[in-house]
Amino acid sequence: QVQLVESGGGLVQAGGSLRLSCAASGRTFTNFPMGWFRQAPGKERDFVAAITWASPYYKDSVKGRFTISRDNAKNTVYLQMNSLKPEDTAVYYCAAARAYCSGDGCDDPAFYNYWGQGTQVTVSS
């Protein structure tokens, strides 16, 4: 049984930083896409970042502030979030896929097969 477990969320002031982690178990995702999405109250789940075997991809509004990385030995993906803004407040979800993607194909939630339970990130102004 595949499980994705996120951690690292919390409350931070605007301008602060958080690092999210997502540990996968039950399947190895080396070189397969893993991503981060977020969902604010009353809004749809929205792409944040993804990482494949070749490249990272980012939502425009987080470029230069967020960095996605992975440790294949630990089957874990990270999201370093700097210069946080109140509009970054949401539940953040980790996702993993069984197929390959590139570019815009990596930002569709329907592409991903596995999801974590989510971790709350709240940025106060």
Is 80 within 8 Å of 67 (Cβ atoms)? yes
Is 93 within 8 Å of 116 (Cβ atoms)? yes
**Per-residue confidence in pLDDT tens, the chain, 125 aa:** 899 999 999 999 999 999 999 999 988 888 899 999 999 999 999 999 999 987 899 999 999 999 999 999 999 999 999 999 999 999 999 999 999 998 878 999 999 999 999 999 999 99
Phi, psi angle pair for 83, to nearest 5°: 50, 50
pLDDT score at 85 = 98
The β-bridge relationship of strands 34-39 and 46-51 is antiparallel
The β-bridge relationship of strands 119-124 and 10-13 is parallel
96's tokens: 């993993």
Is 18 within 8 Å of 12 (Cβ atoms)? yes
DSSP element (H, E) containing 4: strand 3-7
